[in-house]
Every structure is written in structure tokens, then in C-alpha cells.
Structure 1
Amino acid sequence: MKLTFAGTGSAFCMAADNFQSNMVLEVEQPGSDQPARLLIDCGSDARHSLRNLGHMPNDFDAVYISHLHSDHIGGLEWMAFANYFIFEGHRVKLLAVHELIDPLWEHSLRGGLEISDKGNSCLSSYFDVQSLTPKDGFDWQEMHFDVIPVEHVVTTQNTMMSYALFGHGKNKSFFLTTDAIFNRDAHMPLYRKADIIFQDCELGPRHSGVHAHYEQLVTLPAEIKAKMWLYHYQAYAKPDAVADGFCGFIEPGQSFDLG
């Protein structure tokens, strides 16, 4: 099982050598020369970042959506149309918590995808939609994933949740924060339980309050930082994360063997 970061940048990444933070999870399939692939989020630049890895839209069996910001869903229209028109109607399973599915269609995808060559369409015209609940999580390729609500954008009017993943592999477990504020108390049990942590991390002088900032993460216990990799960073000069006790900053295209 291998997890590859198609990009490690923030939503506003414009670096020529980096892309938004979307990931490809691959599992070998007995009797097949092609692995099963799960795309974790499909952002606006996915058509470039995936091509950079040598993947096309029909190379995926499923896509998981953590929340509704464009660096996590902005490539879904491209994936839908490319599979529908170019790759003979190849269907990808779309995995998302129930609360995201209607707004994903109504507020993000309907304008571009509803009217097609065969009349009005809906989300299930392009994807095999699987509605998830945090209570149950989901299984993919004999691997179980816990789906964990994490606070991402908190205001006096509302709170936007993202849905982190805790993957239970055969030999390793991992916690992928997706996009989350720094919440030491809420996340500590997950940090302690995971064998490897993939943590979104802001850099730069401004703390946006919607991601964990490096200056906050560096205060974590040494045993937590020792299994934590950092991603979703902006194009500022990176501090010496290894010297500060982390595994390091993930580079675009970097892969991890998850056993």
C-alpha cells in the first residue's frame, strides 16, 4: 500500500514545481498488473498534478472528498466530463459524508454538469455516490477508514467541518488531518494512536486560524512530532522541521509505504 502526494501546497499554490495537496492511495490487486487507486480530494489543479504522476481520470476506482473548498473539489467537473466523454463512461465511486453530497452538487458542480448531451444530469450520472457517516467510516480494498469530523473554519455564524481520515492498514495506521485548525486536545488521542501522521501546516507570518500553524505544531510533544510529516504549506521559506523534531516537510510526488 502506497500513499503519494500529488502536491503538497496550499489552496493558493502557484509554484511551477508544486500543486494543491491531493493524494493517491494505491493497493496492489492480486491477478492484475494495475493497482486499485483511491484519490483523496480532487482539487482545481488535479488535471495537472495527476498527469505529472502519470495518471489519467480513468485510472481511479474511487475519490474521497474531505470538504468543499476548491483545492479539494475543484477538479471533480474535469474528472466527471473526462471519464464520461473520453474514457467510455468510466465510473468512479465518490465517497463523501452525507452532509457534503447535496451542497457539493447544488453549490459547486450543478452549474457545469447538469446539462449534458443526454439532457439533465445529476451527481450520480457521473459517479457512483456512496454516502458516508463518521459513525461507520468506510472500507476500501480491505482497509478500514475512520471518518473524523475536524473543525476547519470557525466563525460566530457557522463552523465548516472537514472530514479527516484515520486509516487502518495491515501493518501501519495513519492519521491524515485534511484541513483542520490546531486543536491539541481533540487531536491528541489520534496523534498517539497513529503510526504516522500527515499534518496540514501553515507557514509565514500570518496565522489564518483555519489550519494548524508551524509555530503551534512545534509545541507538540517530541514523541508526536517524531512521527509527523507536514504538508499543505505555502511558498514561504521552510524552517528546519527535522531539527525541530518532525519527520520533515513532504515534497511533491513523495510516496510513503503504508504496509
Structure 2
Amino acid sequence: MAALTMLGVGHSEAIDHWNNNAMIEAGGRRLLIDAGYTIKFALRDRGLALSDIDAIFLTHVHADHCFGLERIGYECRFQHGFKPTLYLPPGVYEELWEHTLKGVMGQVGEGPAELADFFDVVLLGDKPFEFEGVRLTHFQNQHTPEKPSYGLMINDHLLFSGDTRAIPEVVNRFSPEVILHDATLSDWNPVHASVQELCESYPADIRSRMHLMSYEDFFEEHRTHVEQEFAGFAFQGQEFSL
């Protein structure tokens, strides 16, 4: 049975629950949703190593979502002799390689290198793709203005929002049974949905299916309120069937 596990649930500033990254397991293989700078620790907590990862889907280019790719690329190539698959939605490749990873991965002992020397790069178009029978539909969310940033609808069942403000039009279009939604516990944020914004943007029946992720370390102060208004917080190591 396919499942999604939250490897980490923390906000970019959080230190207690690793970066907000997830993993799909299906058919004996593993697909990461993002790989931030804490990914090696997060996998260790699940008894896994970087070499246990077969593929990665990147939602967007921010450090807590992509900086772990350097370590995955180096270790898989030089220690384990294989290239994981890297799924990149439209507009992400140039930001990732030219503006982020090239400075640290563009030159190796053998000479100049490209992203394709470390990963089997798959540039996605607008259509859904599959991983071991799991259907993944990527959609543009509402994160940093003018920045390519995506969420995923998985098996027409679970919506993973990625970093975003409220996206009620997307949620209404897909009608997911389970929702993992970005949330900040601050009163307002220009690129993340506050709890108040979520309450104002989604009716109670949708919020009852919504688990909040990518939150700050002081989440316990908000736990009672969140559990009254939503399905609750998503927790590190929590598994959701697909």
C-alpha cells in the first residue's frame, strides 16, 4: 500500500522538527517531496539513508526545500554510484541549477559538471506524472510572488499544499479527502498562510480534513485552538495512506 510520511514539519526558522519535507513509499521505492538542509537527519530518524531514496520532486527553490540536494547528489554519485530521479515542475530548473546549486556542484574533481551528472532530471510539463503507480498532479500555489512554486494532488486523495498562502480555488477544484496545508503561527505573513487566514478562507467541513504543517517550534501554544478548528497539526513521522 502506498503511503506518505512527514519527514519533517518545521517552518524554515524551526529547529525542533526538521524542514517541512515528506516521502512517498510505493512499490518498494521512495520519492521525496523536497529535500531541505535537514533531510539527512530526517531520514536517519526513519532508519533510512540518502542512498535509500529513488526520486525527488521539488516544490520550489528555497533552502529548507532544496539545499539537501547537494548532499544527495554527491553521496549517491560518489559513494553509491547511482543517480536518483529529480522531477522538476515548470520554471524550477533554472532557479535550482543556475542560481542555487551550480556554485557548489558545477565543478568536481573530474572537471565541470551539470545537474544531469548527479540526477536523472525529468522536466515536467503541465500533465500529471506517476511514481510506482501513484498519480501526482502538480499545481501552482500562492507562495512568493513571481516565483515558481507548487503543491501536489496525490492519487486524487491527498492534497499537499507546499509553501503557500490559502488556495481555496485549488482545494475546491480537487476536493481532497485529506489536506496537508502550510501554516504559520504568526498573525500575518506575506508568503505563508496564517491560521486566521485559513479559518477565513476555508469552511469548517474542509478544515476538518486539514492538517497544518510547516509551523514554528512554539506550536504547543496554539495546539488547542488548531485542534478545535482543523484536523490538527501534522507531526514528524506521521503517515497518511494514499
Look up the match of 1:32: none
Shift of 1:102: 2.0
Residue 160 of structure 1: SS of its match in structure 2? Answer: coil
Look up the match of 1:164: 151
Work out which of the residue numbers 169, 172, 186 in structure 2 matches 1:204. 186
CA distance in 1, matches of 2:61, 2:141: 14
Query: 1:110-158: CA deviations, max 9, x gaps?
Result: 111111122111000000000012x21211111221110112113xxxx
Look up the match of 1:141: 132
Mark the CA change 1:188 to 1:142 in structure 2 (over 3 Å): closer, same or farther. Answer: closer
The one-letter code matched in structure 1 to 2:21 is N
CA distance in 1, matches of 2:43, 2:180: 20
Whether the 8 Å contact between 1:91 and 1:128 is mirrored in structure 2 is yes
**Residues 1:242 and 2:222 are matched in the alignment:** no
Look up the match of 2:83: 91
Whether the 8 Å contact between 2:92 and 2:148 is mirrored in structure 1 is no
Look up the match of 1:127: 119
Work out which of the residue numbers 215, 218, 222 in structure 2 matches 1:233. 215
Look up the match of 1:118: 110
What 5-or-longer segments of structure 1 have no aligned partner?
A: 30-34
Scaled by the length of structure 1, what TM-score is found? 0.87
Look up the match of 2:19: 20
Look up the match of 1:105: 97
The one-letter code matched in structure 1 to 2:128 is G
CA distance in 2, matches of 1:102, 1:61: 22
Shift of 1:242: 2.1
Residue 223 of structure 2: SS of its match in structure 1? Answer: coil
The one-letter code matched in structure 2 to 1:75 is G
CA distance in 2, matches of 1:239, 1:52: 24
Whether the 8 Å contact between 1:151 and 1:161 is mirrored in structure 2 is no
Shift of 1:45: 1.0
Shift of 1:189: 1.6
Which protein is richer in helix relative to its size?
A: 2
Look up the match of 2:166: 182
Residue 26 of structure 1: SS of its match in structure 2? Answer: strand
Whether the 8 Å contact between 1:151 and 1:160 is mirrored in structure 2 is no
Residue 243 of structure 1: SS of its match in structure 2? Answer: helix
| Percent of residue pairs identical | 28
Whether the 8 Å contact between 2:223 and 2:233 is mirrored in structure 1 is no
Shift of 1:109: 0.7
CA distance in 1, matches of 2:206, 2:150: 21
Mark the CA change 1:98 to 1:222 in structure 2 (over 3 Å): closer, same or farther. Answer: closer
Look up the match of 1:73: 66
Scaled by the length of structure 2, what TM-score is found? 0.93
Whether the 8 Å contact between 1:43 and 1:74 is mirrored in structure 2 is yes
Shift of 1:187: 2.7
CA distance in 2, matches of 1:239, 1:47: 28
What 5-or-longer segments of structure 2 have no aligned partner?
A: none
Shift of 1:166: 0.6
Residue 181 of structure 1: SS of its match in structure 2? Answer: coil
